[in-house]
Structure 1
Amino acid sequence: MKLGRQTTLKKSVTVSGQGVHSNAPVSITFNPAPAHSGISFIRTNLPNGAERTIEAKWSRVSTTELCTVLGDPSRGAVSTVEHLMAALMGLGIDNLSIEIDGPEVPIMDGSASAFVAAIDWAGIKTLSASRRYIKILKPVRVEHGRSFSELRPAASGFHMDVAIDFPVPVIGAQSKAMELTPARFRREISRARTFGMLRDVEKLWKLGFALGSSLENSIAVDDNRILNPEGLRSADEFVCHKMLDAVGDLALAGAPIVGTYRAFCPGHKMNFLVLQAMFADRSSFEYVEAPARAEPLFADFGRSPMPAFAVEAS
């Protein structure tokens, strides 16, 4: 992969799974797309055989209550896009047309690992067009209660500094800072699973949500213990998952960000609000093409291992 150039996939690949809220089966196909196309979802299987294209951009976000949702639910939306978008941003995929036959991106194992494996199976293709970046020029910050999310200038690359603090000893206070690169995304963030308190999940079940949530795709915390028999994948898996969600949500900026993301107890709503605030202040950022130090986020590490799950070539 040539640094500073746009990318897509070499071939199509299909991944199937269950929706975390509906528990309904869903299939998604990643199709290569030309330069300057960006990421878009094509919602198929709508009433009367209709289809709808939804751009993967912050301006198409309709709700962030339980997950990040793109599009109007009454006309055909796509929800729970954050883990997939994180995989695309983390591995530097700029252009993709994603066909999806249901309202939710499949939850898979609750992390981005299945999507990373699918991308590796399909392979990454470098295009001739230069990549466009969003360079942060001055701090942008949003706050809600004790939580905050902010974007700050950085000389190069995309840096993350995230802290969480839960009133549950098994989670407690955790923090992590890093510069995002494909290698570190794969190794430290991509396999971090979603998590929640068992009592909260039980409430959601009664309301008709999280019907597909299980120990196969979530870390369940019950007071002071983790219910998953295998335990955690890393000691900092909780804060790593918050970083994973942030990478996916910030990918909806429509271009890679050159800057620093700092947050305390962030969530989908806070990530969306900081993007909204940035775009509302045109003096806070500028678009640039292929920086002199092409960001390590898009370095080619020459990896194309076979996935650890079954994918279908399309």
Structure 2
Amino acid sequence: MDAQRTLRRQISCVGIGLHSGNKVNLTLKPASPDFGIRFRRTDLGGHEIPATVNHLGGIQLATGLARNEVSVETVEHLLAALLSTGVDNVLVELNSPEVPIMDGSAAPFIYLIHEAGVKRLQTSRKYLKIVRPIAISRGDKRIALYPSDHFKVTYSISYDHPLLRHQSRTVRITEESFVEEVAPARTFTFLKDVEMMRQNGLALGGSLENAIVLGETGILNNALRFEDEFVRHKILDAVGDLALVGYPVIGHLVAHRAGHALHTEFAAKILEERHAWRLVESAVSAPIPVALGVKSAAPRLAN
């Protein structure tokens, strides 16, 4: 039996919201078996929002959740970190509508989880194992899941930019591969889009400290963390968005020029296509998290 897991102790950090620019206090707290991942807005009387496709909110440059007029935005990087480290049950408390952007990657959240520690619970985990293909296409954007013995992601992107003509990568998602190859990859944007976003009240907290910014001829940041950091970040986003199905997935995710809107639409479609999957309590090739260090800078912990 693969046991469900939670955190050993609570842990907090401070950051800013990417779009609001406001300071955010975030705390991760241990939770009981079958609790799942839930977000609690402490600034709004403790309203909770489960991290499932049933509570999808606005999808505007990031993934959001909503319930009873209460929302939480930019959840995907934290969800990817929790999924990859095998944390099934956790309460995420925050005093703002946005999960802090940190450095634009999932590495600071991995650090927090490792600092808190992970604890096995006395309840079995269920995996969603794909047995028949599921697919969606919208114009030149497409995404599909195929049967596999483990969770693997193949992603390709294509932009009309000299640095981003085409990038493609395949990663078998384990905690080790996620920590080393995916988690440090930062979100990215184009300089020509930044001013437009700010005029619309978005990206007010964005900077070269938490995003890669591409100008006409190159990046404005000092250096990339990987030559193909852009497609690695898309893999990170896809892992986080797919966490909204509510179970770790065993299958091969293949996406081309997708994005948050298509990722989350696909997560909902997976649950609708009940003939295409079955729930299993263990999988020989399912991710088995192990304790690892993170090379990226640690987030600032709250007092």
Q: TM-score, normalised by structure 1?
A: 0.93
Answer yes or no: is 1:140 the counterpart of 2:140.
no
- Once the two structures are TM-superposed, the CA of residue 304 in structure 1 deviates from its matched residue by 5.7
Corresponding residue of 2:271: 279
Could you say which residue in structure 2 is the equivalent of 1:111? Answer: 105
Offset of 1:29 from its aligned partner?
A: 0.5
Aligned-residue CA RMSD (Å): 1.5
1:253 lines up with 2:242 in the alignment: no
Does the CA-based 8 Å contact 2:128-2:278 persist in structure 1? Answer: yes
Contact 2:176–2:292, Cα closer than 8 Å, also in 1: no
1:60 pairs with one of 55, 64, 80: 55
For the 8 Å contact 1:123–1:304, the answer to whether it is kept is no
**CA–CA separation in structure 2 for the residues paired with 1:212 and 1:83:** 16
User: Does 1:195 pair with 2:185?
Assistant: no
Residues 1:267 and 2:259 are matched in the alignment: yes
**One-letter amino acid of the structure 2 residue matched with residue 134 of structure 1:** L
1:79 and 2:73 aligned: yes
In the aligned structure 1, how far is the partner of 2:214 from the partner of 2:300? 29
Which of 244, 247, 252 is equivalent to 2:236?
244
Please say if 1:220 is aligned against 2:206.
Answer: no
2:169 and 2:231 in contact (8 A); partners too:
yes
Instruction: Describe the shift of the 1:119–1:137 C-alpha distance in structure 2 as closer, same or farther (beyond 3 A).
Output: same
Deviates more, 1:181-190 or 1:61-70: 61-70
Structure 2: how far apart are the matches of 1:123 and 1:76? 30
Matched, 1:89 2:83: yes
Q: Displacement of 1:273 after TM fit? A: 1.3
Matched, 1:45 2:21: no
Aligned partners of 2:70 and 2:123: how far apart in 1? 32
Deviating beyond 4 angstroms after TM superposition, the runs of 4 or more aligned structure 1 residues are 304-307
What amino acid does structure 2 have at the position aligned with 1:86?
A
User: In percent, how many aligned pairs have the same letter?
Assistant: 38
Please give the per-residue CA displacement for 1:90-135, whole angstroms capped at 9, x wherever unaligned.
Answer: 1111100111111000000000111011011111111121110001
Distance 1:125 1:51 in 2: 25
Partner-residue secondary structure (3-state), 2:29: strand
Task: Provide the rounded CA distance (Å) in 1 between the counterparts of 2:3 and 2:285.
Answer: 9
Aligned with residue 19 of structure 1, among 17, 24, 27: 17
How far does residue 280 in structure 1 lie from its aligned partner after superposition? 1.6
After TM superposition, list the pairs within 5 Å mapping 1:153-168 onto structure 2. Answer: 153-154=147-148, 156-168=149-161
Consecutive unaligned residues of structure 1, counting only runs of 5 or more, are none
Distance 1:61 1:136 in 2: 23
- Distance in 1 between the 2:6 and 2:138 partners? 37
SS in 2 for 1:212: coil
Q: Distance in 2 between matches of 1:133 and 1:223?
A: 44
1:310 lines up with 2:303 in the alignment:
no
Whole-Å Cα distance in 2 between the matches of residues 23 and 299 of structure 1?
34
CA distance in 2, matches of 1:87, 1:132: 18
Where structure 2 has 5 or more consecutive residues not aligned to the other structure, the ranges are none
Distance 1:260 1:223, change over 3 A: same
8 Å contact kept, 1:162–1:177: yes
Alignment of 1:116-135 (within 5 A): 116-135=110-129
**Corresponding residue number in structure 1 for 2:28:** 30
Q: Quick one: distance in 2 between partners of 1:304 and 1:168? A: 35
**3-state DSSP of counterpart to 1:162:** strand
C-alpha deviation, 1:294, in angstroms: 5.1
Give TM-score, length-normalised by structure 2: 0.96
